[in-house]
Amino acid sequence: AGVTRCVLLLITLLGTWFIMHTYFDQGWKAISLRSWLGLQLCSSLTGKELPRHKCGNEKSCPHNYFAFRIISGAADVVGPSICFDDIILMSSVKNNIGRGLNIALMNGTTGQLLKADAFNMYSGDISKLETFLGEIKHGTIVLAASYDDVATKMNDKVRAHFVELGSSHVKNLGFRDNWVFLGAKGLKDKSPFEQHIKNNKETNKYDGWPELLEMEGCAPRKMD
């Protein structure tokens, strides 16, 4: 009976979510369907506790890997979120994000937070970001998420830093594009953890901005 009630509940919630998503897309897009459906409620109905993975990801990571989840900002309304090894590093709730580029630096061996900061890429001082990127040490994991506009102030020097960290898309970032990225200093190949969506008035999800990006995965621990 519990399973049946859970299935019916999920169907009802899914239908409601679809309606809200259709008519109020901007406010609801930032909420993950998987989390919004309330799987914990199903757990209480069935009496079986559903597994929870670090950062709320769909799968657990192998030994000597760090779970991560990066969500870009949605337009200029909903801020980004960066989770690493089940710890929220940057988010609106923590009040440590800003419009532009949000970056967290992690020790690639211990998984400890080294530094986190936000850089205004529309009217800020780009030299602050140049210094920040230039001081990153070998073995550091770098997580980045865009919010509002990420490219107006971005120059060739900054782009070169991100290429060195493993980015394949930073050279093509433009005004109000959305971008999420995980790379590392000393990476020999291009990072597999990167998503980029162009600001295009024909395909934008919001008025003047593309839809948000959400990326999760497992980053290998640096083994000395």
* pLDDT > 60? residue 194: yes
Q: What pLDDT was estimated at residue 69?
A: 98
Residues 30-88: pLDDT tens digits?
334 444 344 444 455 555 556 789 999 999 999 999 999 999 999 899 999 999 999 99
Domain locations along the chain: 54-220
Q: What pLDDT was estimated at residue 6?
A: 56
* pLDDT > 70? residue 10: no
* pLDDT > 80? residue 5: no
Q: How far apart are CA 101 and CA 179, in angstroms?
A: 9
Structure confidence at residue 188 as a pLDDT band (50, 70, 90) = confident
